[in-house]
Structure 1
Amino acid sequence: MHNEQFHRTRRRLPVNYTLAHETQANPEVVLAQHEHIEVFEKRVWKAANALQVQARDLLSTSLMENGEVAA
């Protein structure tokens, strides 16, 4: 089993190497990847901010229901 897994991994290495080599050699591919990452990061930050606002609202509501004052 271990030997079989080693050979499967070994066969995949040239494909991974080729893809990495093509990416490094093609600035357009690298630029497109960076743009995709930036769009993804913006979505993550937007979602994180929305969750933070929801958490703050829930805490405020909970504190008001219990007669406490939100800080």
Structure 2
Amino acid sequence: MCIKPAEFYLLDQEELWFYEITIRSRRRREIVIGYRLANSECAVINPPRKLEPGKWSLDDVFVVIASGS
């Protein structure tokens, strides 16, 4: 498990569902399980509203399950 920058999955200020981000992560052979917004102190794991659009910033980060390579 690791933290990856938003730029791996989206463009700055792009409006996406969390579900869409998980689909993009699969193309990288990773699994996004949560996020921490730039203006927040806490991460959200398994967000309940995966099909609601959100505007994402490149300052956000994602909690990811990925291989070590």
- TM-score band by shorter chain is under 0.3
* Structure whose residues are more often helix by fraction: 1
Larger radius of gyration between Structure 1 and Structure 2: 1
Higher relative contact order structure (alpha carbons within 8 Å, sequence separation ≥ 6): 2
TM-score (norm 1): 0.18
